[in-house]
Amino acid sequence: MRALILAGLAGAAMLAAVLVMSAVTWLWLGGFDAGAASPESRLAAGAQRIALDHQLELAEAAAGSPPAPTSKSLIFGFRQYDAECAACHGTPDEPRALWARSMNPPSPDLTETPTRLTAKQLFWLICHGVKMTGMPAFGVHRTDRQISDLTLFVRTLPNLKAQDYQSLRATYGPAPKPFSLTPNAACLTAK
Ligand code: HEC
């Protein structure tokens, strides 16, 4: 009986070694195209989607809430959006940059395809970013307050006309660039 178990374990270890070696050989022969011009494999994209959807569900069910918007939130949200999001996600008066369409996956134009995420989910997504897509984690250099302002602005964006956006820009201008990468948003560690 003991010999049988040992033989079984040895067989499983050999099978695992063969699988690892085959995977390494496949990578070495260029089986996985790491370039961004070709679509992501269905397996990787599917796993990514399932993981993200699940985390957004958890974010929705979490007990805590993002800081409530203030009377200045829309303006502060606009200033950050114009400085740090517009190139990838577009504005009512200017489409997203050409290179944003060459990203894999391309960043969605949030004026053409308004987000369907809830406020809590948006807050989570802007704070944490999305791995393997190019969506940055803004919690690494912005605060919870600032991310909450962005959340409100992203929800308002589809209702803004080009003139509204231009007059916001003329009156308030973009936000100053953040000067440190200190992870100071509590949302990064909140459960
Ligand atoms: C370098 C490009 C880039 C920048 C800059 C960027 N994003 Fe993104 N963003 C992306 C990509 C790519 C995705 C798609 C992620 C995916 O496929 O899950 C995305 C997804 C999103 C989504 C989810 C849309 C949806 O409904 O599924 C929101 C909301 C968002 N970004 C908001 C922001 C905000 C707010 C900022 C600025 C503070 C920002 N992004 C900056 C690339 C960017």
Q: Give the total number of structural domains in the chain.
A: 2
Q: 23 and 59: one domain?
A: no
Residue 55 CB less than 6 A away from ligand 1: no
Phi and psi at 176, nearest 5°, equal: -60, 150
Residue 38 domain-assigned (yes or no): no
Give the pLDDT confidence score for residue 189 in this predicted structure: 87
Q: 87 and 157: one domain?
A: yes
| Minimum-distance ligand 1 atom for the alpha carbon of 114 | 26
Structural domain boundaries enclosing 9: 1-31
How does pLDDT run across 120-172, given as a tens digit for each residue? 999 999 999 999 999 999 999 999 999 999 999 999 999 999 999 999 999 99
Give burial (CB, 10 Å; 0-12/13-18/19+) of 28: exposed
Mean pLDDT across 26-47: 89
Q: Can you give the pTM of this predicted structure?
A: 0.90
54 CB-near residues (< 8 Å, 6+ apart): none
Q: 79 and 159: one domain?
A: yes
Q: 26 and 54: one domain?
A: no
Residue 40 domain-assigned (yes or no): no
Residue 36 domain-assigned (yes or no): no
Q: 144 and 78: one domain?
A: yes
Residue 138 CB less than 6 A away from ligand 1: yes
Residue 105 CB less than 6 A away from ligand 1: yes
Give the pLDDT confidence score for residue 176 in this predicted structure: 79
Nearest to 171 by CA among 97, 78, 65, 69: 78
Residue 132 CB less than 6 A away from ligand 1: no
Q: 100 and 158: one domain?
A: yes
Q: 96 and 2: one domain?
A: no
